[in-house]
Structure 1
């Protein structure tokens, strides 16, 4: 009795396109313009810079170079929610935008980080009624620090951080940190900045902590710790540590999504110079 074993040879017509994500010719995978073949020799990915994600205080934005999606209807380039489809940013680029709570985005804790997740769907290339490429999808995410810090001396300053940009196929290089300002004001009306001059120890200081740009409606923040420092003498003291510290005359004046305002009784340290510059820093929970 003879036994014959037959092993089908995998090729471009094996029903799985030889495992190629895009084109297959002679059992060799290849990619369309503006894509490159991955290390596995089968999966195409966007060329560097051709499809990028920007994580910001408002959510996420995906930009795609038109050369990577030729003859693809922009209505078929969308996120999980098909209503969030591509719009033309310029003559060379499509753009898709999502907030924290729309377009099918999922926003919440993943491990110890705040995380926004969604999926970019790209439809097929259609030429003269003929479909010439597959549909495909790419998951992406944005990670956010939920603990940030704002600080200032009596001379306040501003810091603006616009976003973290990276290729959609790559890992996010750093977590996005929301920007916050901490400013001193001359009175509880919070109309005039105390950006010049000095304070008399024992007098009240009025402080406003606010985001550098308006937060999404999906987000809130709180101030949970504030510390006064004199760097010159390496001394510090808390005025808020979840609850106001006794003896500081700490008083909440406003707390909502737009700003946290409070006052406290100013002081310097026994070792401080009479003209010491005192720094106030506050920890913020998103």
Structure 2
């Protein structure tokens, strides 16, 4: 491909007859790349992208979506995602919108352990434009991505909150301003059937009783599983702290047990309720659990390797392709 630059401030000159459209993403005329209406050239003078405000992307644990003004894609014969059964709808503003869960409509993901993120991707695919029975524009593929953070030092997610469903939105072509995040929560149950939720707002736990708890994925994504890395119980009124689970291993002092090492939807654990010396007759204890999420197809992750709890060994599996979240909840204990 023949390319050469000319004076600063002048568009890059290209060879429109090189058999590759001069490298232009859209039209190549008189040695320069041109864009259709509602599109502009990017800094490389070869690639067109929608004008600012013409197309936007939204990311959340509920899924990802792209919205475009009609002038960006008209007169397309069809507008779909990679899975062509996922077609565009027209929203209240008259824009075309395509939405998908993170594991549907041909969406793919890549875990970048070295960058602490996982990136989900799909494409808006517009069929060739037709007018009066003739093709007037080529098919179009607009790739878009959503980045999810892979590590959080201090995120407190309450099970009843919808924090994980909040959109991170930005213009197509711009960098995503903030990483999106998945939704995990901590729940308590009345017994080992895990059928009836314990009312932590109104009921109290008597010391010595068995507590049944679970970390739950509020919006599971096909291909991702998680494990409980740690759980800490604190009495903030006296500054006391107890490690219930550490390095995936439950504390035997309180008969701690973890039912399943990892799962896509729910990891269960149990322990004997207790109070700290110096705690009141009735004390509110805070539970904070760290969750590590893994690609289920990756080998030797913390989600697939036995942590060796009987020997109190720290897991040796690589943390690659894993990322961390935190969930918390408060429960009232009574002597």
Q: Which residue of 1 aligns with 2:243?
A: 238
Q: In 2, distance between residues paired with 1:60 and 1:157?
A: 22
- Distance verdict in 2 for CA 1:11–1:285, change over 3 Å: closer
1:225 equivalenced with 2:230 (yes/no): yes
1:143 equivalenced with 2:147 (yes/no): yes
- Distance verdict in 2 for CA 1:99–1:185, change over 3 Å: closer
In the TM superposition, residue 128 of structure 1 has moved relative to its aligned partner by 1.9
TM-score by length of 1: 0.76
Which structure 1 residue ranges, 5 or more long, are not aligned?
A: 1-6
Q: Which residue of 1 aligns with 2:208?
A: 202
Q: Which residue of 1 aligns with 2:301?
A: none
Q: Which residue of 1 aligns with 2:320?
A: none
Matches within 5 A, 1:100-179: 100-112=102-114, 113-146=117-150, 157-162=160-165, 163-179=167-183
- Distance verdict in 2 for CA 1:111–1:223, change over 3 Å: closer
- Distance verdict in 2 for CA 1:151–1:36, change over 3 Å: closer
Match of 1:182 among 170, 179, 186: 186
- Distance verdict in 2 for CA 1:252–1:171, change over 3 Å: same
Q: Is the 8 A contact 2:16 2:31 kept in 1?
A: no
Moved more, 138-147 or 28-37: 28-37
- Distance verdict in 2 for CA 1:140–1:157, change over 3 Å: closer
Q: CA RMSD in A?
A: 3.5
In the TM superposition, residue 227 of structure 1 has moved relative to its aligned partner by 0.8
Q: Tell me, what secondary structure is at the counterpart of 2:254?
A: coil
In the TM superposition, residue 87 of structure 1 has moved relative to its aligned partner by 2.4
Q: Tell me, what secondary structure is at the counterpart of 2:252?
A: coil
Q: Render the CA deviation track for 1:110-166: whole Å, top value 9, x for unaligned.
A: 2442222333333443322343334443332222234566666xxx74344223322
Q: Render the CA deviation track for 1:29-62: whole Å, top value 9, x for unaligned.
A: 6544433343455543213343222333354322
Q: Tell me, what secondary structure is at the counterpart of 1:182?
A: strand
Q: Tell me, what secondary structure is at the counterpart of 1:277?
A: strand
Q: Render the CA deviation track for 1:226-279: whole Å, top value 9, x for unaligned.
A: 111223333322111211122021133567433233221222333434443211
Q: In 2, distance between residues paired with 1:50 and 1:44?
A: 13
- Distance verdict in 2 for CA 1:84–1:168, change over 3 Å: farther
Q: Is the 8 A contact 1:210 1:260 kept in 2?
A: yes
Q: Is the 8 A contact 1:150 1:181 kept in 2?
A: no
